[in-house]
Structures are given as C-alpha cells and as structure tokens.
Amino acid sequence: MEFNGFKKALEFLESIRKNNSKEYFEAHRDEYEQYILNHSKAFVVEMGEHLMALEPTVDAEPKINKSLFKMYRDIRRMGENKEPMKSKIGIIFPQGGWSGCRLQKSSFYLHFSPDELFVAVGVRWFNKPMLDAYREYIGDEKRRVALDETLKKINALGYSTMGKEYKKYPKGFTPQMKSVDLSLHKGMATYKILEPEIIEEGDKLIDTLYKIYEDMLPLQQIMYEVSLRAKGD
C-alpha cells in the first residue's frame, strides 16, 4: 500500500476522544483499520526507507509492539488517566534492534492527535540502566561539553530540549563543572510540535519529518552511543 497521508485520521481520533470506551472502538474497528492502522503500516515502510538514508541501523517494522503502538491503554500503569483508549497515535523507529524496551533505545519518534503533531529524537525518559549509562557518558567533561554544544545548535534551529526534572546534582557532579546542568535531565531528547493537519498530506509529512530528523541527527547518534553503554533493561 502506498502512503498518501493519514486521511480522516484526526476525525476518527476526535470521535474516540468523545466516546472513549472499548465498546465504541470495537464497533468502529473497521474505521480504525482503514484510517489509522493501514496508513500507519504504509507510513512506517516509507519513512523507514527515508530514515535509513540518515542512519542505516534504524529499525522500521510495521507491526503493533514494534514501530506501532496499541490503541488500548494499559490503565494499570497509566497513573490517573483511566481512559481505556488512546486518542493519539505513536510511531517509533529505534536503533539497536527490538530486544528489550523500545522506549529505552535512541529513537526517531512521533505521535499525532487532534491537538498536535509531536516529533522527537533521543530517549524521553531513562530507566535506571539508561540513567546510569547517561551519567557515566557525561561524566567525561569533553563528552558533556560536546553534548551541550550539540543541543545548543539544535535549539538554534528552532527545536526544544526536554526539560530538567532533577533538582540536585547527582553524585560525582558539582556546580563548578562545565555544562553540569545536563546531569539534571531524566531523559535526553529534542522535539518540535507542529499543527496536526500536516499528517493528511503524505509527501509533505515525509519531507517535513525528514528535515526535522536530519537536523536532530547529531543528538540521535550521541544517544545511541549512550544506549550501547546501558547494562540490561
């Protein structure tokens, strides 16, 4: 199937938002498959081919629990949000294969909803092995300063960096160190938020994403190196 954009996807997601139940979803599963799932699979194939021009080791697999996410929300693990269905569609292109948690691999990521198109690279949050690997990586001043400069260059192009979440410097980091605030991050990713209607035009979406991912590639490559240092999941 050729990817021509996510036609009627936003309208379908809006209907899920207004009728958030498994019963409604199952009654409209044909629309989900037509407007979301089939186009998502075609998108993963085409976008994956483009991303391999940037990073040959990227993984693109048009399957649920690979590059695609389930529509059902795991309400046991999602905090206060107990809505059974998601009203946004996430797609991920990680590096490093599919073993372990895909969210702990340096990735090209996006999600869209009736509110936004969110595009990011890196790792949005660290589990302990990734946090330890990240802190070990930036414990070296040369690498830490280089990461800081990479982020500044990406930010200068109009992109944002995930905010710092820790209040105190971790063990081994002091206020006198260059670029020490990088140690306060609980994840390391850059992102851009766009109008959701972009997803409806296939060529425009692919071209827009390619430019963003190309701009953010230096961070992607650094975080991939960090991920290779992580011990276990």
Sorted by where each starts, the structural domains of the chain and their CATH numbers stand as 9-229 (3.30.930.20)
What gap in Å lies between CA 218 and CA 190, rounded to an integer? 11
Residue range 187-195: mean pLDDT, rounded: 98
Residue range 17-27: mean pLDDT, rounded: 95
Residue closest to 178 by CA, chosen among 151, 140, 135: 140
Contact between residue 210 and residue 49 where contact means Cβ atoms under 8 Å apart? no
Per-residue pLDDT of 71-124, as tens digits, reads 987 655 545 557 899 999 999 999 988 888 899 999 999 999 999 999 999 999
% residues pLDDT > 90 (the chain): 88
Per-residue pLDDT of 135-175, as tens digits, reads 999 999 999 999 999 999 999 999 999 988 899 999 999 99
Q: Which of 9-18, 24-33, 67-76, 90-99 has the lowest mean pLDDT?
A: 67-76
Mean pLDDT score of the chain: 94
DSSP 35: I
